Structure 1
Amino acid sequence: MSMNSRDALTTPDTGPRQVAMLYLVRAISPLHVGVGEGLGTINLPTARESLTGYPLVPGSSVKGVLRDHAEYRNLTKEEVWTAFGPDQTQAADARGGLVITDANLLALPVRSLYGTFAWVTCPFILRRFAADAAEAGFDDGVLETFRDLGRDGQQNPRVTDEACRLLAKGEGERLLLEDRPFGGVVRDPGVRAAGAWLAQKLWPNDEDRDLRAFFQARFAVLPDDPFGFFTRTALEVRQRVRIDRQTGTAAASGPWSEELMPAETLLHGLVLGRRTVFVPDGTPNDTRRKGPEDGPGVLRSLLADRPLLRLGGKSSGGSGRVHLRLVEPNGKRSAP
């Protein structure tokens, strides 16, 4: 007896129901993922979490960009379907093999009087990141480092050791971020360890060692409250005008403002692989079962050459250029 697509999804399987991988996003240029028109002073605000107000990129946006890239790379229909599901004409036949969570903020670049800028994060974000990394199978000591940095109630800014390039010279251990001074700075070996781990995942190649050192020297952990202040005030705001094609001057509709996550923003999320099926056109009796590792396998090959992706809107103005990297524990495959 043949098996249809719904039967295949419900048939017992001895393997895992799903697998999880961590992904990191680094913005190469400013990034705008909008929510339509705003009611405040910014006409086109960026998407934000409702509870924390932190900027984010919805998982649906990430998945849509990856599917477009898969089709651009001429992956087979079976590969695209396995990872992202069928198109609208066969949407009822099966689901996609990948679930992609929102890309949540990991570190925000903030202007610094010393060191050019800092990548700042906070305990709340590091706790959430450690939870995602644990779900993705990381169980080494570095997770304890992130959990320790993420302890609630931390009130002192923390930076790396003597390699830090953010501290004011000759004025004591102080940070000067935007127009705010921070005293009581602690040089924390945990920040060094966490920064080194992230740098290795973001810039894994030998020729990237200078970029890794640059990041580690500028990585800092702020208390939750001042970090939240920067997520509300330190994003990039651009003023734009529309040009009237007839006159070549600014249109009567007037200028508007756009909010963007700045270049060098870091985000993280999870990719979940799950079971699905593939039903070739017109051959329902040839249903092919797909396991939870098949979708991630397609994604690994898709990202193997570290493509430059375009995420969000305003791409015609150069916005939205990002690198997306899969990160997996030692012993598992990861995109190079």
Structure 2
Amino acid sequence: PGTVLAKDGEVYLEDLDFRREEGADEWADFLSRQVFPDDPEWVSLFRERMAVVSDDVFGFLAETGTEVAARIRIDPVCRTVEGGALWYEESLPAETLMAGTVWCDRVYGQNGPSAGDLIRAFCARPLRCQLGGKATVGKGLVRLVFSGGEGR
């Protein structure tokens, strides 16, 4: 597939320059169809923008691309910063894709559904939810897409 990351064989990510190498197209095809199974437009966008980089490059991009915001809590009476009320929040870029495992190894109670039934119900379709973040600042909104797994 084509890419918007490379021009004349060069790839530019932040202030890093690379030579484009073959071999990532199969991964881009596989991942795009797993994450966006019913959305050809997003499949195409993902395939154009995916890059495979070394651990060192990923570490650099993750460190420099992660938003870090200083937050304070205001005392509602004095309208000044409360003592010790400074903290930092880190946010991943909005386009971040993460992978993980969902499992249920036991269900407590005698009359409840089985672990398999719970997993099948939970993973039946994509979910939109908020993990971490704060509702008041609109952070932590995620879309969960499930694929594969035992018993499927």
TM more than 0.5: yes
Aligned match for 1:251, one of 58, 72, 81? 81
- Segments of structure 1 that go 5 or more residues without pairing to the other structure are 1-160, 281-287
The alignment partner of 1:264 has SS state of coil
Larger Rg: 1 or 2? Answer: 1
Counterparts of 1:308 and 1:269, CA distance in 2:
16
Contact 1:195–1:219 (CA<8 Å) still a contact in 2? yes
Counterparts of 1:303 and 1:185, CA distance in 2:
37
Matches within 5 A, 1:1-336: 161=1, 163-168=2-7, 172-178=8-14, 180-186=15-21, 188=22, 190-205=23-38, 208-246=39-77, 248=79, 250-251=80-81, 253=83, 256-274=87-105, 278-279=109-110, 294-328=114-148, 333=152
Counterparts of 2:108 and 2:90, CA distance in 1:
41
Counterparts of 1:262 and 1:166, CA distance in 2:
17
Counterparts of 1:259 and 1:222, CA distance in 2:
22
* Residue 298 of structure 1: how far off its partner (Å): 1.8
Counterpart for residue 17 of structure 1: none
Q: Identity rate of aligned residues, in percent?
A: 30
* Residue 299 of structure 1: how far off its partner (Å): 2.6
TM-score, normalising length: structure 1: 0.39
The alignment partner of 1:221 has SS state of coil
Q: Deviations over 1:215-235 (max 9, x none)?
A: 010000112211122222221
Matched AA of 1:324: L
Q: Deviations over 1:83-104 (max 9, x none)?
A: xxxxxxxxxxxxxxxxxxxxxx
* Residue 192 of structure 1: how far off its partner (Å): 1.4
Counterparts of 2:93 and 2:148, CA distance in 1:
27
* Residue 242 of structure 1: how far off its partner (Å): 2.5
Superposition RMSD in Å: 2.8
TM-score, normalising length: structure 2: 0.79
Q: Deviations over 1:204-259 (max 9, x none)?
A: 11xx11111000100001122111222222211123233332355x5254754321
- Segments of structure 2 that go 5 or more residues without pairing to the other structure are none
Could you say if the C-alpha distance between residues 200 and 241 of structure 1 is closer, same or farther in structure 2, counting changes exceeding 3 Å? Answer: same
